[in-house]
Structure 1
């Protein structure tokens, strides 16, 4: 797949993943779940969505699923920690409302997730021709 098409499919799947994340986050906030728990639960739903879309549609991976999934969740966990830290800063320290704060933080996490996915998780395995 060429880089332009891959990037476009990543953006579309990212939009789907982000929508799942925001719907879960907003729904949990509406139910008065604290923002940290709401964000962490929404993250879990988004990670499942993102892995399926990235593996099958964006990067068309043929790597071993168990190792790849473990890598995906592990590296995405780093973005969860980053996201929760930034949300704490914006919500608790700078007194922004939880939903607008999440929108701001998403710019950082979406970029980080693309780079981690492309260059660490779904990188093409070397093929030996011998």
Structure 2
């Protein structure tokens, strides 16, 4: 039973999603950190970091994680709209959680960012798997 669960979670798709999820998170943190260090309010920095990381995430998820190679314009438009809509939902989750943790609970901005990032990465995988790239087939590396 445990081996079956382990194999399910250690697929090429999950491993590559985690790798590119970490890279997307790093893009998000770097943009956020640079903006906060230059005096930008954490809420604006969170929003800007989200936009840039979504653009990065779409490309790497499409090509490397879910191996969605259909480049027909209609398909790509549908995929981009679905991806952006789901990421907007996770962006709202991120913004709400950051405001709750930083403004209401007086938690450190960076500790909050780490905790929120874990929630967002999991939510984004679920959204991608169920709503965006659901027709992708598992392909060998």
TM-score, normalised with respect to structure 1: 0.91
Q: Which moved more, 1:116-125 or 1:73-82?
A: 116-125
Quote the Cα distance in structure 2 between the aligned partners of 1:90 and 1:80.
15
Please show how residues 1-130 of structure 1 align to structure 2 within 5 Å: 4-63=11-70, 64-124=75-135
**Residue 11 of structure 1, CA deviation:** 0.7
SS of the equivalent of 2:131 reads helix
Residue segments in structure 2 that go unaligned for 5+ positions in a row: 1-6, 137-141
Aligned residue pairs, count:
124
> By how many angstroms is 1:100 displaced?
1.2
Q: Which structure 1 residue ranges, 4+ long, deviate > 4 Å from structure 2?
A: none
Counterpart-to-counterpart distance in 2, 1:81 and 1:8: 26
Write the deviation string for residues 13-65 of structure 1: whole angstroms up to 9, x where unpaired. 11111110000000000011001100000000100110000000000113411
Secondary structure (helix, strand or coil) at the match of 1:91 reads: helix
Which runs of 5 or more structure 1 residues have no equivalent in the other structure? Answer: 126-130
Q: CA deviation at 1:10?
A: 0.5
Q: TM-score with structure 2 length normalisation?
A: 0.84
